[in-house]
C-alpha cells in the first residue's frame, strides 16, 4: 500500500499520471479498476478509495474529466 500512496502523492503534488489501474480508481471507473488490478490491488480497492477520499483534494478525483483537468492544470 505504501507504493500506491506514494504514486497518489506524486499525482497530487507533481501532477504525474498514475497508470491505468489508479487512474480508473481516481475516475470512479469500477469496471476499469477491477479489470486492471492485479491480485493484490484488487483486494486493496476499498483501502485505496478510503485513502483517496480522506487524503486527496476533492478537485483531483471523481471522474475522468476531473482527473484529466487536474493533470493539465
Q: How confident is the model at residue 52 (pLDDT cuts 50, 70, 90)?
A: very high
Residues 44 and 4 sit within 8 Å (Cβ to Cβ): yes
pTM: 0.94
Give residue 56's pLDDT band: very low, low, confident or very high (50, 70, 90).
Answer: very high
pLDDT at position 18, please?
97
Reported confidence tier of residue 73, pLDDT bands at 50, 70, 90: very high
Cβ neighbours of residue 44 closer than 8 Å, sequence gap 6 or more:
1, 4
- In this prediction, residue 40 has a pLDDT band, given cuts at 50, 70 and 90, of very high
pLDDT of amino acid 15: 97
Residue given cell 483486494 in the structure block: 43
How many CA atoms are closer than 13 Å to the CA of 26, on its beta-carbon side? 29
The upper half-sphere exposure of residue 22, i.e. CA atoms within 13 Å in the direction of its Cβ, equals: 20
Amino acid at each position: 500500500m505504501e507504493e500506491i500512496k506514494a504514486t497518489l502523492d506524486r499525482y497530487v503534488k507533481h501532477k504525474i499520471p498514475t497508470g491505468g489501474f489508479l487512474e480508473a480508481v481516481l475516475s470512479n471507473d469500477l469496471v476499469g479498476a477491477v479489470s486492471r488490478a492485479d491480485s493484490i490491488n484488487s483486494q486493496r480497492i476499498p483501502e485505496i478509495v478510503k485513502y483517496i477520499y480522506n487524503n486527496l483534494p476533492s478537485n483531483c478525483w471523481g471522474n475522468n474529466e476531473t482527473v484529466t483537468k487536474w493533470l493539465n492544470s
